[in-house]
Amino acid sequence: MIALDRFPKNKEKFVRLIEFFKEILDICGELNITPVLNGSLAVFAYTGNHEMDVNDVDLSCSETEFPMIMSALEERCIGYRLREWHVLQIFNSSCDLPKENDRASENKESDFDLKAFGSHRMNGFW
């Protein structure tokens, strides 16, 4: 197991990001979905390079799990967008979201992309 014992260069954003990430992991745990961590957070966790920025979280899971995730997100008023390139983007935003397919405005900052997504027990590409 790899534990985070330091912060990246963008500590303030990272702290907020991790709080939202935990919320998403809770949702995944409730759905019995196990994600695979990849992207910059995985690199940071593995290298401990405090000079890098971690601006989002990338998780992977089966695309067949997207409908369950989207339903759980809607119940919690968490915005998302299902992209044509098989990515589910989840946004840290309020319930003031459009009800069409596009669940977050283009101006909202993506907190993480789910490129085929998953749950609480984390696997990673180390």
Domains and CATH numbers, the chain: 11-120 (3.30.460.10)
Question: Nearest CA to 4 among 65, 49, 39, 36?
Answer: 49
Say what the pTM is: 0.72
Report residue 35 as tokens.
Answer: 């994600």
Question: What burial class does residue 113 get, using C-beta atoms within 10 Å of its C-beta: 0-12 exposed, 13-18 middle, 19+ buried?
Answer: buried
Distance separating alpha carbons of residues 14 and 20, to the nearest angstrom: 10
| Residue pair 117/35 in contact by the 8 Å Cβ criterion | yes
* Residue ranges for the chain with pLDDT beneath 50: 94-121, 125-126
